[in-house]
């Protein structure tokens, strides 16, 4: 890059040490780029995160040093740093608290005290209102507040599958406890079966992805396995950021070895030698426990020929979109790619990649140990297995629930001690509102689809008779406006226009044709946006207007 | 005579249907290429004939049978058997609304293509009301060669592609921020003279909205003496070095006002360096 001009500010000694801890010591003289570093752009985000954890923000010196070390043009490094909401480019105190003001916390009276930062959903909905605190320093602190939520509501239920080790209280930090609870038996079985037979079982299980898109896992894995291009990558999408979703956090915090085991099975089946777990920044306990599980599993020889690397986000909902997630890992702005080509062909670093949600991977353990056919016997014909539901809002027992597909919404709400709801938000901000008329809806992919709604990531937020639905719609509109990556016009400007129209409606200042405008925005965002964020950004609002009669004249 | 030897396998052709018409294109062509082969022009803003498609403006979307969403014709590869509609209700609605979203948030007064599409699709950017958020901001004039008026920026990424990997490899600018706040920026928003910019002006050459404009044009517009209707174009070769870039001198009132290079030129693909783009003032030095 002959024309590369460098930011001239120098990092402080502390910033340099923090960045070097990620990149290794710089071996280029005078801060010049070492030859080895030119292929390490994917370490840009970890380097910036390290600098911020050390001093509280990303200074010009830190940004310049990271970009010099990695041969990233400073303008691009700035573009990356300014993309992520949690990276601060202006100096600020070392001690920062982010207060969730999103849907579930709103229902529990969330407020932002002076000096606090408002935050989108922190994934702590069962203990709302919640916050996330970071204290920069030599020994940085990251904590979730409250530190713990209520115990698993279904503890003691013998029907639990995905949650059974958590319900049994298996120590999430002890590999021996995990092994004692039957851990790594599925991996052993998978190794006996071999990749083809594992694929066969997963296909036979008819397991559908639990991240929100419900794509058949077996089909995805087979597509990756047969690609000639090498290497193949396995990516676990743990960037759980859909407002109201906290299932993957609970799984990672309380049963992290199961994630590692299931990734090892997925790697075997898809022929991947390298895996990444991309976890949102706001889940510090999950980071520690997953890293611990990776380290212990590797040291005990469970990961032969397979390496798992933990990557941590920096505050961007859109990075849960699989191609944006790749961009983020590779050290770019989290802007989704156009599809096709799909990740199974051209994914992370341009190679065939299987991307799976945490809950999806957990299911694989039972698919392998019990066989695909047995797994497919649970639930319904088209929705096999069990499903995790993140229940929050106006309920007596918020928390994570596991039910076989086919249970009704009413039965789930009864379990959770729900008041008679005025409305229920299914699937999160990208999902849809249903009214009390749909309480007998069986919670399956096929039934929700037929009703024009979605299970999405398993979000169930309950609104009772006193809840502020219009306020919720405004918050959802604000959320998408904030989280749009800004790449395509329908989403970048459409989310702004949607919020403006809703504010006018809420204030009783509607323009002529406002609902028609919202309907057109919804259709065009769905039809013409690049990725799922824009395509679903109007769903909840449209459903509230259609199903609940909000803003009805 | 010996038999001619094929040096490369012939490229496969794919056949698709666009608006009821069958068309055969080379494998690897886009839907847009297929449309153009039929003489069926599609609106485009972020598409550049010498740039890698980024498909972000979404005005070129078309309906593809079997696809859940509309698809961008500029980047979606043509496939055998595709059935494409470029003028359905759904397509027209999307294009109209995208133009309304752009027209309501960006100053399109110097964007002839966008203005034409707004008329063509009967778009009404004022529908979002007088308080609709815009990207209005002060013009950036920080050097003698070109100005940046990001009130006119539709964020098509073309300048970033031209400055970076597609052409110049200078990487002086990138997209920064996120969502509606996303914008084209140097590092830390420093002024151009502090940045890596080499003033090749290749970003101006690809800008579809006049957000990037030579200082000469900007000054004449401000003075009210800009006269594109009276413009003539003279072809010549750049006098500076041995590369031999073709130049197109845009002349108004016997004065060179802009220099461009033809996109189909083998050497330049429309690009120039600072000297070819801006070093013409000596021609007009009539004092001697």
> Which residue is listed with tokens 């824009």?
A534
Question: How close does chain B come to A61, measured CA to CA in Å?
Answer: 11
Q: What is the mean pLDDT of residues A487-494?
A: 98
What would the two tokens of residue A44 be?
């840009």
Q: What is the mean pLDDT of residues A519-528?
A: 98
Q: What is the mean pLDDT of residues B16-39?
A: 98
If asked whether residues B279 and B154 sit together in one domain, one would say yes
Q: Where along chain A do its domains lie?
A: 13-81, 95-145, 164-376, 386-461, 469-547
**Per-residue pLDDT tens over the stretch A10-69:** 999 999 999 999 998 876 555 556 666 668 999 999 999 999 999 999 999 999 999 999
If asked whether residues B111 and B165 sit together in one domain, one would say no
| Last-in-domain residue among B101, B131, B161 | B131
If asked whether residues B236 and B176 sit together in one domain, one would say yes
Close Cβ partners of A144 (under 8 Å, ≥ 6 residues apart): A122, A124, A130, A131, A132, A282, A283, A284, A285
Question: For residue B82, what is the DSSP state?
Answer: -
Domains A95-145 and A469-547 share a fold: no
Q: Are B176 and A484 in contact (CB < 8 Å)? A: no
> Which chain A positions have a beta carbon within 8 Å of B186's beta carbon?
75, 78
A528 touches B: beta carbon within 8 Å: yes
Residue A295 near residue A327, CB atoms below 8 Å? no
| Last-in-domain residue among B97, B131, B165 | B131
Length of chain A: 553
pLDDT confidence of residue B286:
76
If asked whether residues B89 and B42 sit together in one domain, one would say yes
Residue B252 is assigned to a structural domain of this protein: yes
If asked whether residues B197 and B240 sit together in one domain, one would say yes
Residue A103 near residue A243, CB atoms below 8 Å? yes
Residue B138 is assigned to a structural domain of this protein: no
> Which chain A positions have a beta carbon within 8 Å of B175's beta carbon?
79, 333, 486
Residue B28 is assigned to a structural domain of this protein: yes
B173 touches A: beta carbon within 8 Å: yes
Among the four given CATH numbers 3.40.50.11540, 3.40.50.1820, 3.40.800.10, 3.30.1370.100, the one describing domain A164-376: 3.40.50.11540
Among the four given CATH numbers 2.40.50.460, 3.40.30.10, 3.30.300.20, 3.40.50.300, the one describing domain A95-145: 3.40.30.10
Among the four given CATH numbers 1.20.1440.230, 3.10.310.30, 3.40.50.300, 3.40.30.10, the one describing domain A469-547: 1.20.1440.230
A535 touches B: beta carbon within 8 Å: yes
Q: What is the mean pLDDT of residues A129-153?
A: 97
How far is CA A439 from each of CA A2, A212, A383, A409, A442, rounded to the nearest angstrom?
Answer: 64, 21, 19, 5, 8
Q: Which domain holds residue B90?
A: 12-131
What would the two tokens of residue A365 be?
């353990």
B169 touches A: beta carbon within 8 Å: yes
Residue B117 near residue B95, CB atoms below 8 Å? yes
Residue B248 is assigned to a structural domain of this protein: yes
Nearest to B187 among A77, A83, A340 (CB): A77
The number of beta carbons lying within 10 Å of the beta carbon of residue B255 is 14
A531 touches B: beta carbon within 8 Å: no
Scan residues 407-436 of A and list those with Cβ closer than 8 Å to B.
none
CATH of residue B103's domain is 3.10.20.740
Residue B55 to residue B44: CA distance in whole angstroms: 9
B-chain residue closest to A74, CA distance: B187
Is residue A72 pLDDT above 50, yes or no?
yes
Is residue A351 pLDDT above 70, yes or no?
yes
Residue B204 is assigned to a structural domain of this protein: yes
Q: Are B180 and A85 in contact (CB < 8 Å)? A: no
Position B277 confidence tier, pLDDT thresholds 50, 70, 90: very high
Nearest in space to B54 (alpha carbons), one of B212, B195, B170, B208: B208
> Which chain B positions have a beta carbon within 8 Å of A513's beta carbon?
127
Strand partners, A460: A391, A426
If asked whether residues B262 and B218 sit together in one domain, one would say yes
**Residue A413 phi, psi (nearest 5):** -65, -35
Residue A427 near residue A453, CB atoms below 8 Å? yes
If asked whether residues B107 and B199 sit together in one domain, one would say no
**Per-residue pLDDT tens over the stretch B156-211:** 999 999 999 999 999 999 999 999 999 999 999 999 999 999 999 999 999 999 99
Question: How close does chain A come to B254, measured CA to CA in Å?
Answer: 36
Q: What is the mean pLDDT of residues A471-484?
A: 98
A514 touches B: beta carbon within 8 Å: no
If asked whether residues B24 and B57 sit together in one domain, one would say yes
A519 touches B: beta carbon within 8 Å: no
Is residue A345 pLDDT above 70, yes or no?
yes
Specify whether domain A386-461 bears CATH 3.90.550.10: no
Question: How close does chain A come to B288, measured CA to CA in Å?
Answer: 37
B241 touches A: beta carbon within 8 Å: no
Residue B18 near residue B40, CB atoms below 8 Å? yes
The more confidently predicted of residues A534 and B264 is A534
**Per-residue pLDDT tens over the stretch A284-339:** 999 999 999 999 999 999 998 999 999 999 999 999 999 999 999 999 999 999 99
B240 touches A: beta carbon within 8 Å: no
B174 touches A: beta carbon within 8 Å: yes
If asked whether residues B175 and B280 sit together in one domain, one would say yes
Residue B1 is assigned to a structural domain of this protein: no
pLDDT confidence of residue A419:
85
Scan residues 71-90 of B and list those with Cβ closer than 8 Å to A.
72, 75-77, 90
Domain count, chain B: 2
Instruction: Give me chain B's average pLDDT, please.
Output: 95
Scan residues 15-44 of B and list those with Cβ closer than 8 Å to A.
none
Residue B64 is assigned to a structural domain of this protein: yes
If asked whether residues B24 and B126 sit together in one domain, one would say yes
B58 touches A: beta carbon within 8 Å: yes
B158 touches A: beta carbon within 8 Å: no
If asked whether residues B101 and B160 sit together in one domain, one would say no
Q: Are B173 and A524 in contact (CB < 8 Å)? A: no
Position B117 confidence tier, pLDDT thresholds 50, 70, 90: very high
| Last-in-domain residue among B68, B102, B131 | B131
Q: What is the mean pLDDT of residues B30-52?
A: 97
Nearest to B93 among A76, A483, A524 (CB): A524
Residue A493 near residue B127, CB atoms below 8 Å? no
Is residue B1 pLDDT above 70, yes or no?
no
Position A144 confidence tier, pLDDT thresholds 50, 70, 90: very high
A-chain residue closest to B134, CA distance: A493
**Residue A362 phi, psi (nearest 5):** -55, -40
If asked whether residues B171 and B220 sit together in one domain, one would say yes
Question: How close does chain B come to A527, measured CA to CA in Å?
Answer: 5
Is residue A553 pLDDT above 70, yes or no?
no
Residue A65 to residue A17: CA distance in whole angstroms: 11
Question: How close does chain A come to B4, measured CA to CA in Å?
Answer: 34
Reported pTM: 0.96
pLDDT confidence of residue A37:
67
Q: What is the mean pLDDT of residues A407-414?
A: 98
Is residue A1 pLDDT above 50, yes or no?
no
Instruction: Give me chain A's average pLDDT, please.
Output: 95
Close Cβ partners of A126 (under 8 Å, ≥ 6 residues apart): A149, A150, A246, A390, A391, A392, A398, A399, A400
Is residue A107 pLDDT above 80, yes or no?
yes
Residue A551 near residue A505, CB atoms below 8 Å? yes
């Amino acid at each position: 890059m002959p024309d590369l001009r460098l930011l001239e500010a120098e990092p402080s000694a502390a910033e340099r040490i923090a960045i070097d801890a990620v990149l290794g010591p710089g071996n280029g003289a005078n801060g010049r780029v070492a030859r080895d570093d030119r292929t390490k752009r994917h370490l840009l985000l970890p380097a910036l995160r390290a600098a911020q954890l050390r001093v509280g923000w990303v200074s010009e010196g830190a940004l310049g040093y990271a970009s010099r070390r990695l041969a990233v043009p400073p303008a691009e490094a700035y573009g990356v740093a300014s993309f992520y909401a949690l990276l601060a480019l202006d100096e600020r105190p070392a001690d920062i608290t982010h207060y969730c003001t999103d849907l579930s916390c709103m229902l529990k009276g969330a407020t932002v005290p002076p000096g606090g930062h408002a935050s989108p959903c922190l994934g702590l909905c069962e203990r709302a209102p919640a916050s996330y605190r970071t204290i920069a320093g030599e020994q940085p602190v990251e904590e979730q507040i409250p530190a713990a939520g209520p115990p698993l509501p279904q503890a003691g239920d013998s029907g639990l599958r995905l949650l059974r080790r958590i319900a049994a209280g298996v120590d999430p930090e002890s590999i021996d406890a995990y092994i004692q609870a039957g851990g790594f038996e599925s991996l052993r079985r998978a190794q006996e079966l071999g990749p083809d037979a594992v694929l066969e079982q997963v296909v036979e299980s008819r397991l559908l992805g639990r991240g929100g898109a419900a794509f058949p896992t077996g089909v995805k894995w087979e597509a990756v396995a047969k690609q000639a291009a090498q290497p193949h990558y396995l990516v676990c999408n743990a960037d759980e950021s859909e407002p109201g979703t906290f299932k993957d956090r609970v799984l990672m915090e309380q049963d992290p070895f199961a994630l590692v085991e299931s990734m090892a099975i997925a790697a075997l089946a898809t022929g991947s030698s390298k895996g990444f777990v991309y976890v949102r920044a706001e889940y510090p306990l999950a980071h520690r426990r997953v890293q611990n599980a990776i380290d212990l599993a590797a040291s005990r020889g469970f990961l032969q020929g397979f390496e798992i690397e933990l990557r941590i986000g920096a505050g961007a909902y859109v990075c849960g979109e699989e191609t944006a997630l790749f961009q983020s890992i590779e050290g770019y702005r989290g802007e989704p790619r156009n599809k096709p080509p799909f990740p199974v062909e051209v994914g992370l670093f341009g190679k065939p990649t299987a991307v799976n949600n945490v809950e999806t991977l957990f299911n694989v353990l039972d698919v392998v140990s019990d066989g695909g056919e047995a797994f497919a016997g649970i639930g319904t014909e088209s929705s096999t297995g069990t499903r995790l539901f993140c229940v929050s809002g106006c309920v007596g027992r918020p928390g994570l629930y596991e039910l076989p597909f086919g249970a009704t919404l009413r039965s789930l709400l009864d379990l959770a001690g729900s008041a008679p709801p005025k409305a229920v938000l299914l699937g999160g901000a990208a999902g849809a509102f249903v009214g009390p008329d749909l309480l007998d809806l069986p919670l399956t992919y096929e039934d929700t689809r037929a009703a024009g709604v979605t299970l999405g990531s398993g979000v169930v937020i309950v609104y009772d008779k006193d809840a502020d639905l219009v306020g919720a719609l405004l918050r959802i509109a604000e959320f998408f406006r904030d989280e749009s990556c800004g790449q395509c016009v329908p989403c970048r400007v459409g989310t702004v226009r949607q919020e403006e129209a809703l504010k006018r409606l809420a204030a009783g200042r509607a323009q002529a044709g406002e609902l028609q405008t919202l309907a057109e925005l919804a259709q065009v965002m769905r039809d013409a946006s690049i990725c799922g964020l824009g395509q679903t950004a109007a769903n909840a609002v449209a459903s509230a207007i259609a199903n609940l009669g909000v803003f009805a004249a | 005579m010996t038999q001619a030897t094929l040096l490369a396998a012939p490229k496969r052709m794919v056949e698709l249907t666009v608006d009821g018409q069958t068309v055969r294109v080379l494998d690897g062509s886009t839907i847009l290429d297929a449309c153009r082969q039929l003489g069926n022009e599609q609106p485009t803003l972020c598409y550049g004939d010498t740039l890698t498609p980024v498909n972000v403006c979404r005005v070129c979307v078309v309906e593809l049978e079997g696809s859940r969403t509309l698809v961008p014709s500029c980047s979606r590869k043509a496939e055998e058997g595709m059935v494409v509609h470029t003028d359905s209700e759904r397509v027209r609605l999307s294009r109209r609304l995208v133009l309304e979203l752009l027209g309501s948030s960006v100053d399109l007064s110097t964007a002839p293509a966008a203005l034409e599409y707004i008329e063509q699709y009967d778009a009404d950017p004022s529908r979002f009301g007088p308080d609709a958020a815009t990207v209005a901001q002060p013009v950036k004039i920080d050097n003698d060669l070109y100005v940046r008026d990001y009130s006119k920026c539709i964020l098509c990424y073309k300048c970033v592609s031209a400055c970076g990997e597609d052409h110049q490899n200078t990487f002086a600018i990138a997209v920064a921020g996120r969502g509606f706040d996303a914008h084209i920026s140097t590092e830390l928003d420093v002024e151009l003279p502090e940045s890596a910019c080499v003033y090749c002006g290749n970003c101006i050459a690809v800008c579809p909205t006049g957000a990037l404009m030579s200082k000469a044009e900007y000054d004449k517009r401000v003075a009210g003496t800009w006269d594109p209707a009276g413009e003539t174009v003279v072809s010549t070769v750049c006098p500076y070095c041995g590369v031999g870039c073709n130049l197109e001198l845009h002349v108004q009132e016997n004065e060179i006002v802009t220099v461009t290079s033809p996109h189909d030129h083998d050497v330049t693909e429309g690009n120039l360096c600072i000297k070819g783009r801006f070093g013409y003032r000596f021609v007009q030095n009539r004092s001697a």
